[in-house]
Every structure is written in C-alpha cells, then in structure tokens.
Amino acid sequence: MVSRHTEKKTPLAWYIAFGLASSMAALLLLSLAYQVWNGVGVWGNNQPVAWGWPIVNFVFWVGIGHAGTLISAILFLFRQKWRTSINRAAEAMTLFAVMCALIFPTFHVGRVWVIYWTLPIPNQMEMWPQFKSPLLWDVFAVSSYFIVSLVFWYVGLIPDLATIRDRSSTWLRRKVTGFFSLGWTGANRHWRNYEKAYLLLAGLATPLVLSVHSVVSFDFAVSVLPGWHTTIFPPYFVAGAIFSGFAMVVTLMVIARKVYGLENVITLDVLEKMNIIILVTGTIVGFAYITEFFMAWYSQVEYEQYAFINRAFGPYAWAYWIMMTCNLISPQLFWFKKLRRSIPVMFALSIVVNIGMWFERFVITITSLHRDFLPSSWGYFEPTLTDVTTFIGSFGLFFTLFLLFLRFVPMVAMAEVKGVMPEADPHYYDEGDGHTAESKVPYIQPAQEDNGRNEAGETRGGK
Amino acid sequence: MPQIFPKKANVLPILSLGGALLGGVALIFLVWYYFSPEFLVVGYQPDQPVAYNHEFHAGQLGMDCRYCHNWVENSAHANVPPTQTCMNCHNQIKTQSPQLLKVRESWATDTPIQWVKVHHLPDYAHFSHASHVNNGVGCETCHGRIDKMEVVYQAEPLSMGWCLECHRQPELYLRPNEEVTTMGYVHPENFVEINLARIQEEGIQPPTNCSACHY
C-alpha cells in the first residue's frame, strides 16, 4: 500500500504542488542572492534589533524539526508503537526543516563567504573559533543534529528500500533502490544488528534533541539582555520545539493520509495521541510564559519588569497577544475528546499553533531587543520585503523537498508497521490474550518471505 | 530472484572506503598547502617598470638598505625612494643608459615611477616597520636575501600565522640592532640566551592580541 505511492504514475496534483513549491524555493534563492549581493541591510534589522526575522525563522525551523526526532527516537525508547506509522514522514520533516533552518544562520551573517571561519580548521592565520559563544555551539549542534538525523532516517529506510527494490519492475529503479538498500536481505543477523543500531541511534538522538534546542536557546539565555537572560529557556525552548514540531506533523499528516489514502495506517488514534502531546507541551509552554512573568515581577529588577510590561502593552503587544492566544489558550481545546479527534479542528489548531510559535520567537527576539537598558537606543523593527520573501521561500524549499520525499521514498516505515501489526505477534495464535478474540482461525503466514519481518517484530516487542 | 548487481560489485565497498580515505587525505593536504599563502604568494615576482637590481646596488655596491629606504627606522611605512634618490647618482653615472630612460623621464616630467608593490598586506592589518627595526628584527628575516635578488620577489608568506610565530617566540629571530640591515648575518652560538636576556632587559613584548595590528 505504501510502496504503491512511489510506483504509480505521478498524479497531476503532485506536479502542481511541486511547481508551486519549487517556484517558492526559487524565490528563496533570489532573495538570498539579492541579500548576499547587496548586504544584510536589505533586511529590516536595525541597530537595537540586529537579530530580526532570520534568527526568528532559524529558531522556528529548528523547532519544527525536533518533533521528527522526538517521534522516532524518544517514542522508540518508550516503546510507543503508534509512532511507527508517522515516524518516517516526521524524520523527513526534521531533515528538511533543519535544512531550511541552516539557511538562516548561514546567510544572516554579513559575509557569508568567510563562514568557514566558524569551523575549527588549522589554518594559515593560526586562528580558532571562540568556543565560548553559543553561536559556535549552534554550528556544532545543528550540523551534528542534521547528520545524526540523516543517518537515523537512512538506517530506518534500508529495509523499506529493499522492499521497493524487490517490487521494482524497471532496470533503473532496481539498480537505484538496490544501491541504496545496500544489499539488505532481511536475514536474522541483519535484523538483530539493525535493531541494536536503531536503538543506539535512538539513544544518541534523544539527548541530541534536548541539547540542540537548548543550545539554540543559549543564543538568547547566555546574553545579558532583560527578557533573554533567563535560566528557564533551555527546557522551555525544547518544549516549544516539540509543541510546534508536533503541530507541523499533524498538519502534514492530516493532508498526507487523506491524499494518499493512509487512513488505516495513520489512524485517528495516532492523531489523537499527537494532539495529546501537543496539549502537554503547549501547557508546559504556557507554564513557562507565566513563570517568566512571575519571575519578572518577583525579581524586582526594573529592566526585567519593564521588558515584560513592554511585551504585554508595548508597541508589539499585538504579537504578544497573538502568541498567548495561539500557544496558551488554543491547545487547551484538546482537553475535549471530541475536538481532539476531529480532523478539521486539529488541522486548524495545528496551523494556529505554528503561527503562535513563530510569534513566540518573534516576541522573544524582537521585543527584548527593541527596548533594553538605554532608552536612547530604543527602536522599532519593521521587516522588509526581502525578510518576507526569504521566509516564504524557506517554506518553498521545505515543501519542495517534502514533495520529493513523498514521491520517491516510502512515506511510512513499512518494516516497522509490519512489526507492530497483530500478525507479527508470536502470541497471535493464543486464545484469550486479547489479541485474537474475534477469530479462532490461525493466521496463515506466507512462510518464507516474512521471516525477517517477524523477527523484527519479535525483537522489537520482546526487549 | 536474479542478482541485481554482478559479483564484481563486491569490490565497491572496499573501493569507496579506500577512495574516501585517500580522497580525504589528499584533499586535506591539497587545501592545506595549495590554498595557503605559502604556495599562493611566496615567490611573487612582478615585472617592474624600471629593471632595478637589488643584487647590484645592495649586494655588489654594498649600499646600506637605509640609503634608499630611509624612513624605515622612523616610520610605520618603509618608503620606496623617490626619483630624486636615483638621480643623486644617476645624473652623473650612466646618464645615457637606455635602462634608466624612465627614471630620467620621471625626473624631467615630475611624474613618479609606477613601481609594483610586492609585499602587500591588506589594509586591515597595520604594520609598523619602525617598531620592528628598532627592536632587532633584521630586514633579511622578513624579506629574504634582498642583496641576492636581481628582481625582488616575496620570500616569506606574510600570513598571520607566520607573523604570530615570531611574536610568540621572538628570541629565535631577533638580532642586535646594529646588525639589522646586515645581509647574511650569522647568529652566534648562544643567541637564544642573548635574545632572551635582551627581551627581559628591554621589556620587548611582541603583542599577540587583535588590537596590535587590526585595531
């Protein structure tokens, strides 16, 4: 069912969507070329607000990416079987979101051509990067995050690519998928190593998820600015990342399951569980908002207090209240089971959440910068057209890559889904264990071919 | 199911591993050397408008460097001599030489000779000749054996790393002030101790911070 989507003739809608997305991606290229040629001054950044949309978008995209690794790694450690139907798409989403994110730290610098100076390479200047800067940690965090996510995603893909290879009818397709599946035969020994490697990668990726967005939060929390210098940022940013990332997964999955007819794989139960996580992390984020406000009052620091009064009632109050409405209030609707299981409601809410999370980064970055210690250096930030086109273009890049993924790669981890299906349960024949209540006829296995996959199911279920 | 890849595909993993390894090593060394000023700028020897010969003037005639580059002890910038300096001698010597035609033209028309600069630091790196020459850095250390160069070329990379090597260990390079313009100076046996004592005594502290050169 899943591999069919990579095999059948490309639907017209895909071409239309791809055309749209890639023209948006072209807009990104144009904006970046324009910006590199003319300088960063084409953005709306000014002297007090030197970090504008580029950083906002960077944090936004990195945050989006975190849900993918959370679904594939953390939920794997917790043996959550419902993750299997969404993890492939979520990991792909991570990769593409991290690519979009990496654009911004690369291009928001004034001189992109010397950005390799941020890498610790022995050179003729005998100079090294400053390892005390969280912006350098960003380089390490995000690049290793991208590499680990890519490896994790690819390792997960190998058995599925082998499936596609075995089903392929054309010579080229067999060669290409045969090359990328690296000679996978689904042997017992393959599966045992595979499962162990997958578990190790999950164990490695989990601290990475938590640390990467913490490092991103250090960009702010390490500074001295009122509104930035807060110890709550690392966990609060991570919670926000999961919140926005899950919302993005819901947005994409609601469309994908409809368009690709995956309602039986990505079930309503799966979506409901994601909505519950959105509710939980949304509440954590809301708690953090209130904590920040409390701490501002409790600190008795007038700058800190003013920073928060300025957020709620200053020139950017509109952004603040959009953020509060979208992030604090709207996820609370998921307390109602009826709303939680309603596709239109969750689709709308997931978009609202991402709008809210974009504004969260906007509020944190800009309201703290535009009015800080010295009233003589107060300013106002207005984005320019290039700011907007770069952001829109990053969505174009994201959807271009995502559409390519939907077209050429199995979007559901087939091997894993098979592993959690009731048929893969070795106790399936037993009566009265709850699995086979409705049927006493033993399921007849297609004996040889499925051995490998059953092994997977067993090891996964048995650990 | 038929085999997708022939048996000889089994060498692919070994080939790709070896290739990646070799390629990586080669790339590192290529970039490390061929993209460094040591390769890119050392030996830079442009054609000059007048075929001025250092080997003849400084080497054979034994002129002191400071006769022409006379601000080197007092100024940040070691000057290229004006046409006046050339004409001090050449209004009497070789007055008809075709090689000196441009010098005489320059003298007659009051237009400077367009020398080509060989040692060119970017202007965000400020260098002072005086502070080096007066603290015992010889001409030879940075410019090579000028007295043996018929046409001047760049002998050292002038990269930041090269500068810093001396600023971190000046005792390996310093010489007595009266030997600064000597070409082919030979260090005495115990020159490191002498230099260390001198550095101690005169309080020579070569800066290694950014503001020293990059302001």
Burial A383-401 (b: 16+ CB within 10 A, else e): beebbebbbebbbbbbbbb
Rounded Cα distance, A21 and B11, in Å: 41
Mean per-residue pLDDT, A124-152? 92
Residue of A nearest to B39 (CA): A124
Token pair of A266, please? 């990505």
- If you count residue pairs, one on A and one on B, with CB atoms under 8 Å apart, how many are there? 28
pLDDT at A427: 65
A261 vs B76, residue with greater confidence:
B76
How far CA A322 is from CA of A177, A238, A263, A326, in Å, comes to 47, 20, 33, 6
Smallest Cβ–Cβ distance between B4 and the set A122, A123, A178 belongs to A178
pLDDT at B6: 79
**Interface touch A125/B161, C-beta < 8 Å:** yes
Residue A314 confidence (pLDDT) above 50: yes
pLDDT at B42: 81
Residue A153 confidence (pLDDT) above 70: yes
Rounded Cα distance, A66 and A205, in Å: 10
Mean per-residue pLDDT, A210-222? 93
Residue A452 confidence (pLDDT) above 50: no
Rounded Cα distance, A319 and A380, in Å: 13
**Interface touch B4/A175, C-beta < 8 Å:** yes
pLDDT at A341: 87
**Interface touch A124/B5, C-beta < 8 Å:** no
B146 and B140 Cβ atoms separated by less than 8 Å: yes
Quote the distance between the C-alpha of residue A187 and its chain's center: 32
Instruction: Dump pLDDT digits (tens) for A380-391.
Output: 999 999 999 999
Token pair of A384, please? 């320019």
Q: How many helical (H) and strand (E) elements, i.e. helices and strands, does chain B have? A: 11, 0
User: pLDDT above 70 covers what percent of chain A?
Assistant: 89
pLDDT at A60: 94
Instruction: Dump pLDDT digits (tens) for A154-195.
Output: 999 999 888 888 887 777 777 787 888 888 888 889 899 999
Instruction: Dump pLDDT digits (tens) for A252-298.
Output: 999 988 888 888 888 888 899 999 999 999 999 999 999 999 999 99
Smallest Cβ–Cβ distance between A124 and the set B1, B4, B159 belongs to B159
Rounded Cα distance, A45 and A107, in Å: 13
**Interface touch B37/A124, C-beta < 8 Å:** yes
Closest Cα of chain B to A125: distance in Å? 4
The sign one gets for the Cα dihedral A231, A232, A237, A242 is positive
Instruction: Please name the residues in contact with A357: beta carbons below 8 A apart, sequence gap of 6 or more.
Output: A60, A63, A240, A243, A244, A247, A326, A327
What values do phi and psi take at A13, rounded to 5? Answer: -60, -35
Residue B173 confidence (pLDDT) above 60: yes
B120 annotated among ligand-binding-site residues? no
Token pair of B11, please? 């060498």
Residue B33 confidence (pLDDT) above 50: yes
Q: Give the max Cα distance, chain A.
A: 81
Quote the distance between the C-alpha of residue A311 and its chain's center: 27
Instruction: Dump pLDDT digits (tens) for A16-73.
Output: 999 999 999 999 999 999 999 999 999 999 889 999 999 999 999 999 999 888 888 8
Token pair of A325, please? 């409405």
Rounded Cα distance, A72 and A187, in Å: 23
Residue A460 confidence (pLDDT) above 90: no
Per-residue pLDDT band for B46 (boundaries 50, 70, 90) equals confident
pLDDT at B21: 94
pLDDT at A463: 32
A124 and B163 Cβ atoms separated by less than 8 Å: no
pLDDT at B111: 93
Residue of B nearest to A184 (CA): B4
DSSP state for residue A442 in the 8-state scheme:
P
DSSP state for residue A330 in the 8-state scheme:
G
B142 annotated among ligand-binding-site residues? yes
A363 and A319 Cβ atoms separated by less than 8 Å: yes
Rounded Cα distance, A286 and A239, in Å: 10
Mean pLDDT for chain A? Answer: 86
Residues of A within 8 A of B36 (CB-CB) are: 123-124
**Interface touch B159/A122, C-beta < 8 Å:** no
pLDDT at A447: 46
Residue A136 confidence (pLDDT) above 60: yes
Helix ranges (H only) for B30-152 are 37-40, 54, 65-68, 83-90, 101-109, 129-133, 139-143
Per-residue pLDDT band for B31 (boundaries 50, 70, 90) equals confident
Q: Which domains does chain A carry?
A: 3-418 (1.20.1630.10)
B157 and B36 Cβ atoms separated by less than 8 Å: yes
What is the length of chain A? 463
